[in-house]
Chain A
Amino acid sequence: DAGVTQSPTHLIKTRGQQVTLRCSPISGHKSVSWYQQVLGQGPQFIFQYYEKEERGRGNFPDRFSARQFPNYSSELNVNALLLGDSALYLCASSRSRDWVIASPLHFGNGTRLTVT
C-alpha cells in the first residue's frame, strides 16, 4: 500500500499570497493531522480531522484553515502568508480518532514552503 502522500513537495510564495497544501492518507485511515516544522525544531501541531470533522486545533492564527474530504484526503490552507510561515508542513494519517494509543501516526515527507 502507498504511504501518506503530500503535494507539492516544494513551493515558493510571496508575502501576502495564499497557499493550499494537499495530503492523501494511507488507505483505510480516517484521521489526518497537520504539523508545521520550522528548520531545526520539532513539529508543531496545527489541526486534526477525523471523518471530515475538526477534532483538534493547535495555537495557530485564523489564517490557517483545513478541511477533509469524503475520501479522507485533506487540504491545509494558509492565507496572507508571512515570512515566518516558511517551514516544512507535514501531514500524518492514522486509523483512529484517538491519539496514538489506538493507532500510530504515519507521516508523509512534507511540503517545503518558502515565503519570500
Chain B
Amino acid sequence: TQLLEQSPQFLSIQEGENLTVYCNSSSVFSSLQWYRQEPGEGPVLLVTVVTGGEVKKLKRLTFQFGDARKDSSLHITAAQPGDTGLYLCAGDTGNQFYFGTGTSLTVIP
C-alpha cells in the first residue's frame, strides 16, 4: 500500500498541450517533493514545498502544496518532448519518506 496516490498513472499528450498531475494522501506531510526519473537513472529533484498553500514555479512547471499539507499538484504548460519521464511525488512525515505511485508522461513531438 502506497501512502501517496498519483493520478493519472499514464499520460500521453501532444507537444504544446498543458497537463496536471495530482498527488493525494490522507496523511499530513511536513514537506513534499516532486522528482522526475528517466529510464536507467535515479530520480532527480524538481522542487520542495513546505508550507500549506505554497505555490512554486520552475519555468513551465507549477507546483502547489495543498492547504492541509495532504496533497499536491504539478502543472506543466506547453509540454515539450524533453518533459517525458516518470514524475514522482514524495512526502516526509518526520520519520519516514514516502514516494507516490508515479505518473509516466510521454510528450509526442
Interface residues in chain A, defined as those with a beta carbon under 8 Å from any beta carbon in chain B: 4, 33, 35, 40-45, 48, 56, 58, 90, 92, 99-101, 104-110
Interface residues of B in 64-79 (CB under 8 A from A): none
Partner of B100, one of A33, A42, A45, A92: A42
Q: Is the CB of B92 within 8 A of A99?
A: yes
Partner of A100, one of B6, B44, B97, B104: B97
Q: Is the CB of A33 within 8 A of B97?
A: yes
Most buried by A among B40, B41, B42, B43: B42
Which residue in chain A gives the minimum CB-CB distance to B100? A42
Query: Smallest CB–CB gap between A12 and chain B, Å?
Result: 17
Q: Is the CB of A42 within 8 A of B99?
A: yes
Number of residue pairs A-B, CB distance < 8 angstroms: 66
B30 on interface, CB distance cutoff 8 Å: yes
Q: Is the CB of A41 within 8 A of B96?
A: no
Q: Is the CB of B45 within 8 A of A101?
A: no
Query: Smallest CB–CB gap between A25 and chain B, Å?
Result: 13
Query: Smallest CB–CB gap between B78 and chain A, Å?
Result: 26
Partner of B44, one of A33, A101, A107: A107
Contact (A42, B30) CB under 8 Å given A56-B96, A100-B92: no
Q: Is the CB of A99 within 8 A of B94?
A: yes
Q: Is the CB of B48 within 8 A of A100?
A: yes
Please indicate the chain A residues that have their CB under 8 angstroms from the CB of B45 in the complex: 104-106
